Structure 1
Amino acid sequence: MEEEEKYTRLEDNSAANEPIKSVEGWIVYVSGIHPEAQEDDIYDMMSEYGKLKNLHLNQDRRTGSNKGYALGEYSEVEHAKDAIKGLNGFKFLGKELKADFAFKHPV
C-alpha cells in the first residue's frame, strides 16, 4: 500500500490577478529589452527600485545577445511594485519596456 504524500500549501486568500510570491521573493518580468543590453545595465536599472536579490537575463546561444526579457527577484512586494510602475513604459536603449509580476493568481 502506497503512503499518501503530503504537500505544504500557502493559504490562498488572494483575489484573481493578484501577484503570487515565489518561494524566496517577488518575481518581476521585464520584456522589450534591447538585444545589446548587458546584464549589469539591467541590474543597475532594476536595483533603483529596491534591493534586487537575483537577476536572470537569458542569452541566445547562437548570437550571444540577450533574448529580450529579464526576471528580477525582490524580497519586498513594495519594491517589486515600484519596479513595475517605474519600468513599465520606460525607454531603454530606444526600446519601450513592459514590466509585470511573473506569477499571478488566475483570473
Structure 2
Amino acid sequence: MARPPVNVHSAYHAHVYFDAATVQQARALCEEAGRLFKVAVGRVHERNVGPHPRWSCQLAFSASEFDRLIPWLDAHRDGLDVLVHGLSGDAVRDHTEFAYWLGNAWPLDLTALE
C-alpha cells in the first residue's frame, strides 16, 4: 500500500500488532513511545478489537509528532507490524485509503467500522 501524504490530517493513530509471544515486546515499545513522544498510549488489548485482526495497542498523536514518531517506530518495532492511519472522521477511509503499514499488512474487518 502506498504511503499517504504526511500531515494531511491533524491527528493519527498507530496500531502496534502483536501476539502472545510478543506481548511484552509490544508493551515495552508502546511505553517507550509514550515516554519519548507526545502520544496517548492506549490499552494493550490481548484480544482482537474492532477491525484489527491481531492483538494491538493504539498510539494516538498529532500531525506535529508524525515526522518524529513514525521513523522511530519503524526503526524500533523489531518485527512487529504497525498500522498507521489518519483521522478524517470516516473510519473506513481512515483504515484503508488513509492507511499504510510498517511491516506486514493484515486484512482488516471493515464491517466493524460501518
Structure 2-normalised TM-score?
A: 0.46
